[in-house]
Structures are given as structure tokens and as C-alpha cells.
Amino acid sequence: QKEVEQDPGPLSVPEGAIVSLNCTYSNSAFQYFMWYRQYSRKGPELLMYTYSSGNKEDGRFTAQVDKSSKYISLFIRDSQPSDSATYLCAINGVDSSYKLIFGSGTRLLVRP
């Protein structure tokens, strides 16, 4: 079983739509959950960092963690063409390891 699973997409939405991106993970002991945005051939850019179940909001972005279901989500409100990128979930914090374990990424296209 893969440690982190993420639907690769692509996900195509019209400008202004609410986008929902999701990951599942296998080990309930993971403690920290991140979302990164990656433009083509660029480095991952940290969007959200959470460590507890519940919601965390930052501008148009909301990260949601459900530890009981081992499910994490990123919601983007009022999506813009500039949001078109690959979104990576990442987890860490098990067995004293802080290496990031990444999902495969979901490619998002926001159509004008």
C-alpha cells in the first residue's frame, strides 16, 4: 500500500470555481500535513501546513485534515487561471522521521 495516494488529474475547472484536491494516507501515526504548489519545472512552493484535525484557512485556500479517515484536502475558492499548477500533498512526522513523503500531485487547469 502506498503511503500517500493522490489523484493525478488533470482537473479542469472554469475560473471562479471552487476546487477540491484530496489525498489519502496509510499510516495514522503521521502528524504533519502540507500542501505545495508546483509550476512546471519549478520548486514546490509551500501553501499550507497543518498538524491537527480540522480546518485551516489562508486567503482563498483552506486545508482540511481528517485523521480518523486518514484524508486531507485542499480547497481553493474563486479559482484563478494563475492557480493552474500541480498541487502536491506531503506528510511527515512518524517514527521520528521528518522527511516529507509526497503524493504524486494533481494537475489543475483553471480555464479563463
**Contact residues for other proteins, defined by CB under 8 A:** 31-32, 34, 36, 41-46, 49, 88, 90, 92-93, 97-105
For other proteins, which is the closer residue by CB, 15 or 45? 45
Question: Least CB distance from residue 12 to other proteins, whole Å?
Answer: 19
Q: Which residues contact 96 (CB under 8 A, 6 or more apart)?
A: none
Question: Least CB distance from residue 24 to other proteins, whole Å?
Answer: 15
The identity of residue 6, as a single letter, is: Q
Question: Least CB distance from residue 10 to other proteins, whole Å?
Answer: 13
Measuring CA to CA, which residue among 53, 66, 110 is closest to residue 87?
110
Count other Cβ atoms within 10 Å, centred on residue 48.
Answer: 20
